[in-house]
Amino acid sequence: METLYGIVRAILPFECFRDEFMILGLLAVLLLTPLLALLGTMAVNRRMAFFSDALGHSALAGAGLGMLLGIQSQLIAMILFGVIWAILISRINRSGGASADTVISVFSSGGIALGLLVLAREKGFSKLMAGDILGVLPEDLPFLALALPVGVGIWALLYNPLLLTAVNPALAQSRGVKTKGAEYAFAVLLAVVVMLAIQWVGVLLINALLILPAAAARNISRTAAQHALLSVVIGLVCGVAGLAISYYLAYAVPGISAGAAIVLCAVVCYGITLPLRRTVR
């Protein structure tokens, strides 16, 4: 790890990236934000912003039920519950029994209410809500390094079928696209990535970090490839900038959240790109 720290310090000779915890946070940002940004492009294209928000809220219920059932790993409990939650939402949405926003609202409210009920007295509750990107440990990096290529690979496999389904479901079915399987697979992938990232980003910010870079990129993109590329670039820039800003602001505002600073940078990027939407298109 010392060699890695030395490389980062040589490439970025700034005060904010001198300490080991800041370097670990930076590496986590570089591994997390591209994957979240790419998944966000599909969530934005398929109007699934509230869907990912419901998954984030379900983390609380997953952690709480895992505790009640005696599951030792909070992460495993959250992933299992998140996957089940995602499949249930997708299944009910496909049945057409109620409007999608109503179904998602019910699941979102139910997830956070159940989590609050069980976790309110637990010490880890506030950390799960707010997250801590600077709490990344050296042993977390291999998992993040593995999650990035695996997640991007699955996203690439699902991208064309999901995009065609979003644009023209009838055409997708006529071409033999297995729309149901693709939708379930993406829902499961989104659930797993959200649950993996939520311990560092937090329930309150995970949806913003997932959606905002993709939404900003969509404002200035002409093609799907541009949308994906710009989303990753915006996510990375906001991640690194937010991390640095939180470091320097910590002198004036002790305890400032790095995740909140990253999201605010993404909000600024969205605000800057919004007036450009009409001129680009």
pLDDT digits (tens, 9 = 90+) for 1-23: 778 888 888 888 888 888 888 89
164-199 CB burial, b ≥16 within 10 A, e <16: bbbeeeeebeeeebebeebbbbbbbbbbbbbbbbbb
Angle, helices 49-69 vs 179-201, to 10°: value is 70
- Domain extent, residue 47, equals 17-202
Identify the CATH number of the domain in which residue 99 sits: 1.10.3470.10
Q: How many helices (H) does the chain have, and how many strands (E)?
A: 13, 0
Using one digit for the tens of pLDDT, what is the confidence trace for 200-242? 777 777 888 888 999 999 999 988 889 999 999 999 999 999 9
Q: What is the rounded CA–CA span in Å between residue 248 and residue 99?
A: 45
8-state DSSP, 48: -
Classify residue 230: in a domain, yes or no. Answer: no
Q: At CA 112, angle to CA 31 and CA 260, rounded to 5?
A: 40
Classify residue 192: in a domain, yes or no. Answer: yes
Select the more confidently predicted residue: 100 or 25: 25
Q: What is the rounded CA–CA span in Å between residue 164 and residue 186?
A: 14
Classify residue 8: in a domain, yes or no. Answer: no
Tell me what the pLDDT averaged over the chain comes to. 81
Q: Is the pLDDT reported for residue 281 higher than 60?
A: no
Least confident of 11-15, 151-155, 249-253: 249-253
pLDDT, residue 74, reads 78
Q: At CA 19, angle to CA 17 and CA 20, rounded to 5?
A: 105
pLDDT, residue 150, reads 92
pLDDT, residue 124, reads 53
Classify residue 154: in a domain, yes or no. Answer: yes
The structural domain count of the chain equals: 1
pLDDT, residue 278, reads 61
Classify residue 76: in a domain, yes or no. Answer: yes
Residues 215, 270 contacting (CB under 8 angstroms): yes
* pTM (two decimals): 0.84
Least confident of 78-82, 106-110, 214-218: 106-110
pLDDT, residue 159, reads 84
Q: Which two tokens stand for residue 82?
A: 């998140």
Classify residue 269: in a domain, yes or no. Answer: no
Classify residue 254: in a domain, yes or no. Answer: no
